[in-house]
């Protein structure tokens, strides 16, 4: 049996969906858009403009439909839904990206402990009423105790003890505590943003300028409502400390008095035009302990290697 | 500058929250503004463009003294007040007859603008053909190589796309594809193909005309999965000439082009950063592998046997010695 006749008949019944283009068109199925970058034919345009424009649009739309109808579909009650890919043409947003909210204290704790967020129902089942009631709010379950008509009195209760009022106060205290925690979270969120950081910086600068006059601010004109400057309280070392710490501190003072290490190297770095920054190199080689320590290590020879682990401690000692 | 209001009740709070920036944005609302004088043609153009943009369109029916290229503060204010980010400003003057300005904003600040002159207009009513349903997504068609090469037409394409089709959706009803908006340029003049890259200050008269055509589309059976498209003119038909423009500030555009990071779901699928030892199985459960350290087999409790008791050797020796003495007694 020859089927070519049947195929011919069926193809002639329908018009073709094939479109020929010199340069393939750019199809952005996510935005339902087709861009045809073939040049416009001048002769056809001049001959019959509207017909040409419509023909051009039809060809482009045909290609677009081809790509849309080949997308995966999902059936729904109103007909097939084509699942569109993300758009390839980038369009500017109308508003900036939303800023992530700073986590609350609880959220940070929960994240550290790996506690999953659980959605708690707003309604709870009331066994007595046999219905769902609000957990809180109007006719809420949390007011059951204070609203019941009979109360159990503890044995040691004082004469003026009012159990209903006590339960109410307890509930109000919980609300107040939650409010306090909320305000704390808000304050923390505010203090971490850029603006308030800048404010702290400015206040510090202002405080520095206020004590930077010849009288250290003592005889300056005060503005009305100007806050009093609060200095930093001095902190003293403990009277008794370990012999090791004391030795370290004394050595640090001695190395400062000696004056051979830091100053000389500083001059060397600024005076010479060498590519090598000697001061930095010494700091690096001695792991931040200075040239003196490096010299000591060199004298001790192999011992220097073994004491490498103590580099951090030595640095801290040197700054005291 | 608008006051920042603190919501006093839940409804206004919801309304304010709806205006806050979102990761996936809603469709952009367009405001249609009339200048001090608008001719009949511009009025009709704005009416019909609004019909295409509905329901995300706001019409300002009063006249406004507005020159967007000189002072854009009014646009910024209206954008904030109406939570809209697209503007179509119509004005007709002796210098620029039948003028139309397309503008869009980012963060309630004007991002870019493009001015066009309407040279010819045919309204919907002049075509006695079926019209599309308001609110349906159009199919967009752009034809000319200049949409890929010339900065003016790249901007125009972006603006028109944003205007008619900017919303990001993840699925569409195939039966809802009703109409087509086609933007075609007249043939590119030879002077533009050769020197467009060289000349910055171009002559506006050499830029080709923009033909905006709208058609309804009929999907005919084709014997294949893809239907055959047939177009019927719907209107409006617009012919536009480009006039002034304002390009987007690069810094602002960079901010506007920022995309949200990959979602958690995508990361779990493996699109984002690699997560070690965690996977999602076919049931959608997250499964992880945990390293427990090396097991100390020395402390392993095995079956208790007499012979394996601690200090067994000495006990055995002593017992043996006892047995020997007992035997000798018996003999």
Percentage, residues of chain B above pLDDT 70: 87
Give how far B322 is from chain A: nearest CA, Å.
60
Q: Give how far Cα B329 sits from Cα of B255, B318, B324, Å.
A: 106, 17, 9
B104 reaches A (C-beta below 8 A): yes
SS3 A248: helix
Contact between A31 and B145 using a beta-carbon 8 Å cutoff: no
- For residues A77-93, one letter each, b for 16 or more C-beta atoms within 10 angstroms of the residue's C-beta and e for the rest, the string is eeeebbebeebebebbb
Give the span between the Cα atoms of B56 and A280, in whole angstroms. 64
Give the span between the Cα atoms of B212 and B183, in whole angstroms. 5
**ipTM value for the complex:** 0.76
Give how far A109 is from chain B: nearest CA, Å.
21
Predicted local confidence at residue A299, as pLDDT: 76
Give how far B168 is from chain A: nearest CA, Å.
7
Please state, rounded to an integer, the average pLDDT across all residues of chain A: 83
Q: Give the homologous superfamily in CATH for domain B26-193+205-247.
A: Brix domain (3.40.50.10480)
Give the span between the Cα atoms of B227 and B223, in whole angstroms. 8
CB pairs under 8 A between A and B: 203
Q: With a CB-CB cutoff of 8 Å, which residues 15-34 of chain A face chain B?
A: 15-17, 26, 30-34
Least confident of A14-23, A156-165, B60-69, B135-144: A14-23
Predicted local confidence at residue A236, as pLDDT: 87
Contact between A32 and B147 using a beta-carbon 8 Å cutoff: no
B161: which chain A residues are within 8 Å (Cβ-Cβ)? 31, 33, 89, 91
Least confident of A153-162, A170-179, A291-300, B304-313: B304-313
Contact between B231 and A91 using a beta-carbon 8 Å cutoff: no
Task: Give the start-to-end residue ranges of the domains of chain B.
Answer: 26-193+205-247
Please state, rounded to an integer, the average pLDDT across all residues of chain B: 85
Least confident of A82-96, A197-211, B133-147, B267-281: B267-281
A97 reaches B (C-beta below 8 A): yes
Predicted local confidence at residue B223, as pLDDT: 81
Closest residue by Cα to residue B32 from B19, B16, B48: B48
Contact between A57 and B180 using a beta-carbon 8 Å cutoff: yes
- Residue B89 pLDDT exceeds 90: yes
Q: What is the pLDDT of residues A301-311, one digit of tens each?
A: 644 444 444 44
CA A286: distance to chain centroid? 38
- Residue A7 pLDDT exceeds 80: no
Q: What is the pLDDT of residues A107-126, one digit of tens each?
A: 999 989 888 888 899 999 99
Residues in chain A: 320
B225 — alpha (psi -120 to 50), left (phi > 0) or beta? alpha
Give the span between the Cα atoms of B331 and B234, in whole angstroms. 129
Cα dihedral: B191, B197, B202, B203 (round 10): 10
B107 — alpha (psi -120 to 50), left (phi > 0) or beta? left
B187 reaches A (C-beta below 8 A): yes
Least confident of A70-79, A275-284, B218-227: A275-284
Q: What is the pLDDT of residues A39-75, one digit of tens each?
A: 888 899 899 999 999 999 999 999 999 999 998 888 8
Least confident of A75-79, B272-276, B303-307: B272-276
Question: What average pLDDT score do residues B121-128 get?
Answer: 92
Residues in chain B: 331
- Residue A319 pLDDT exceeds 50: no
Which of B161, B165, B256 is opposite residue A93, by nearest beta carbon? Answer: B256
Q: What is the pLDDT of residues B167-193, one digit of tens each?
A: 888 889 988 899 999 999 998 888 776
Query: A218 burial class (0-12, 13-18, 19+ CB within 10 angstroms)?
Result: exposed
SS3 B243: strand
Predicted local confidence at residue B32, as pLDDT: 96
Give the span between the Cα atoms of A103 and A113, in whole angstroms. 14
Least confident of B12-26, B87-101, B317-331: B317-331
Give the span between the Cα atoms of B209 and B184, in whole angstroms. 8
Predicted local confidence at residue A64, as pLDDT: 93
Predicted local confidence at residue B120, as pLDDT: 94
Q: What is the pLDDT of residues A18-34, one digit of tens each?
A: 788 888 899 999 899 99
């Amino acid at each position: 049996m020859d089927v070519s006749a049947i195929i011919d008949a069926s193809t002639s019944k329908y018009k073709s969906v094939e479109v020929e283009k010199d340069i393939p068109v750019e199809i952005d199925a996510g935005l339902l858009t087709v861009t045809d970058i073939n040049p416009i034919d001048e002769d056809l345009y001049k001959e019959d403009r509207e017909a040409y424009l419509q023909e051009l649009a039809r060809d482009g739309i045909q290609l677009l439909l081809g790509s849309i109808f080949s997308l995966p579909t999902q059936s729904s009650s109103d007909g097939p839904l084509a699942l569109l890919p993300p758009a390839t043409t980038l369009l500017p947003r109308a508003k900036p990206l939303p800023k992530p909210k700073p986590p609350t204290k609880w959220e940070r704790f929960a994240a550290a402990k790996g506690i999953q967020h659980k959605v708690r129902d707003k309604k709870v089942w009331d066994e007595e009423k046999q219905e769902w009631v609000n957990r809180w709010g109007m006719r809420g379950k949390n007011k059951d105790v204070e609203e019941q008509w009979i109360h159990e009195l503890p044995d040691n209760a004082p004469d003026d003890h009012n159990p209903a009022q006590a339960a109410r106060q307890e509930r109000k205290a919980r609300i107040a505590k939650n409010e306090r925690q909320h305000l704390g979270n808000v304050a923390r969120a505010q203090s971490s943003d850029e603006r308030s950081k800048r404010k702290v910086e400015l206040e510090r600068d202002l405080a520095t300028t206020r004590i930077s006059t010849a009288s250290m601010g003592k005889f300056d004109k005060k503005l009305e409502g100007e806050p009093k400057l609060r200095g930093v309280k001095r902190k003293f070392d403990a009277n008794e400390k370990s012999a090791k710490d004391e030795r370290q501190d004394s050595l640090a003072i001695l190395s400062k008095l000696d004056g051979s290490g830091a100053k000389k190297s500083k001059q060397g770095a600024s005076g010479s035009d060498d590519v090598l920054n000697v001061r930095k190199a010494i700091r690096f080689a001695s792991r931040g302990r200075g040239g003196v320590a490096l010299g000591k290590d060199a004298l001790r020879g192999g011992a220097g290697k073994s004491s490498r682990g103590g580099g951090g401690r030595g640095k801290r000692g040197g700054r005291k | 500058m608008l006051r920042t209001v603190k919501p006093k009740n839940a409804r206004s709070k919801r309304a304010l929250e709806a205006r806050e920036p979102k990761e996936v944005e809603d469709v952009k609302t367009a405001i249609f503004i009339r200048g001090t004088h608008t001719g009949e043609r511009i009025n009709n153009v704005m009416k019909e463009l609004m019909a295409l943009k509905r329901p995300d369109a706001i019409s300002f029916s009063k006249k406004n003294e507005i020159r967007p290229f000189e002072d854009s503060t009014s646009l910024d204010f209206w954008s904030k007040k109406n939570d809209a980010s697209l503007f179509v400003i119509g004005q007709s003057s002796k210098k620029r007859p039948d003028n139309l300005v397309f503008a869009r904003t980012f963060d309630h600040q004007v991002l870019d603008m493009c001015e066009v002159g309407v040279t010819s207009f045919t309204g919907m009513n002049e075509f006695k053909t079926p019209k599309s349903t308001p609110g349906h997504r159009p199919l967009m068609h752009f034809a000319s190589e200049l949409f890929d090469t010339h900065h003016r037409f790249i901007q125009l394409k972006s603006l028109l796309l944003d205007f008619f089709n900017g919303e990001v959706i993840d699925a569409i009803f195939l039966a809802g594809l009703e109409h087509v908006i086609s933007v075609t340029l007249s043939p590119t003049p030879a002077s533009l193909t050769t020197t467009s890259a060289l000349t910055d200050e171009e002559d506006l008269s050499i830029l080709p005309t923009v033909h905006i055509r709208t058609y309804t589309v009929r999907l005919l059976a084709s014997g294949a999965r893809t239907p055959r498209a047939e177009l019927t003119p719907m209107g409006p038909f617009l012919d536009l000439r480009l006039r002034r423009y304002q390009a987007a500030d690069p810094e602002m555009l960079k901010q506007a082009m920022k995309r949200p990071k990959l979602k958690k779901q995508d990361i779990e699928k493996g699109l984002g950063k690699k997560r070690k030892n965690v996977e999602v199985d076919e049931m959608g459960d997250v499964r992880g592998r945990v390293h427990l350290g090396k097991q100390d087999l020395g402390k392993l409790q095995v079956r208790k046997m007499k012979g394996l008791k601690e200090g067994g050797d000495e006990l055995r020796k002593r017992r043996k010695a006892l047995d020997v003495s007992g035997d000798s007694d018996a003999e």
